[in-house]
Amino acid sequence: MPNFDYIASARRTIGLERDAVDSLLQRLNNHFETACDTLLACTGRIVVTGMGKSGHIGRKLAATLASTGTPAFFVHPGEASHGDMGMITPQDVVIALSNSGNTAEVVTLLPLIKRMGVPLISITGNPASTMALAAVANLDTAVEQEACPLNLAPTSSTTTALVMGDALAIALLEARGFSAEDFAFSHPGGSLGRRLLLLVDDIMHSGETMPLVSRQTSLRDALLEMTRKGLGLTGVINEQQQLVGIFTDGDLRRTLDQSVDFHAMTIADVMTAHCKTARSGMLAAEVLKIMEDAKINGLFVVDAKGQPVGALNMHDLLRAGVV
């Protein structure tokens, strides 16, 4: 079909699905509140089930719940009829998805769920269906028309179910006070986990690898310390071992413009006092923010007494995958 207007078709599909999602706003009622209260009160796990396309949406809902503080998993309704019902306990809550609300494989499970005393939450497009009537709360995701021009393939209906599931998960997330750190524990891998879990203590240079000199050290010897430790900086400490300044490659370039005597001048004469520091225990991502805001390439990590316990530069953050 060389003259087919693909863009017009896409616009029609997006418009229909957008309108279907907008219609959900008028259907948020006490059933949604009951569903949230039931899920928050659950002492077991959330068991999500659904057949076909609804099953695919159900898998995504279970994954979203599990990663945002609500323990959940998906059970295929066909498998549940052949042994997997044993995965459901009386402490659990079941969320069942079906556009018609009368999917045979799911309806077959309802008497067993009721017999166990497990609360059922349905996400259906038919409030008068068997599933909806058996549920303690039914989330209505009905659509006037599927985006499919034949009005057959689940398109708009799966989108509304997906959005309703996300609304449920995020409402629970906010009600629990779920934090970014909590989220990180569910996502330890990849760049997200590194940004949310990696501490500055895990990547900083400490002990003998930390470049430090006293205030009385000559500029020449301070440069030797910088060269030996290879971080492009050195910290300056006082008699109480507290950090009082820093000297970096940038400071060195500015000092060279002044034609100073490297043997006679002490590091205290050219160091940057009141320098930016990080605290032990801070997230590496927080330290990155400090460095970016201050436009610096390195800093020291200090303890509660102001004594340096580590040093790092932008290359360390790059190697750790934080940047």
CB atoms within 10 A of CB 291: 20
For residues 185-210, average pLDDT: 79
Fold of 6-178: Rossmann fold (3.40.50)
DSSP H or E segment with residue 317:
helix 314-319
Chain segment 50-109, per-residue pLDDT in tens: 999 999 999 999 999 998 889 999 999 999 888 889 999 999 999 999 999 999 999 999
* Cα Dmax for the chain: 91
Short-list 147, 187, 137, 162, CA closest to 56: 162
Percentage of the residues of the chain whose pLDDT score is greater than 90: 73
Q: Is 177 left (phi over 0), alpha (psi -120 to 50) or beta?
A: left
For the chain, the structural domain boundaries read 6-178, 200-319
pLDDT at 1: 62
The answer to whether the CB of 298 falls within 8 A of the CB of 314 is: yes
Of residues 229 and 320, which shows the higher confidence score? 229
pTM: 0.68
Q: Which CATH number fits domain 200-319: 3.40.190.80, 3.40.50.300, 3.10.580.10, 3.40.50.2300?
A: 3.10.580.10
pLDDT at 72: 95
pLDDT at 152: 85
pLDDT at 187: 63
Short-list 57, 114, 126, CA closest to 88: 114
Sheet holding 298-302, edge to edge: 277-279, 298-302, 308-313
As a whole number of angstroms, the distance between CA 235 and CA 225 comes to 10
Mean pLDDT of the residues in the chain: 91
As a whole number of angstroms, the distance between CA 205 and CA 182 comes to 28
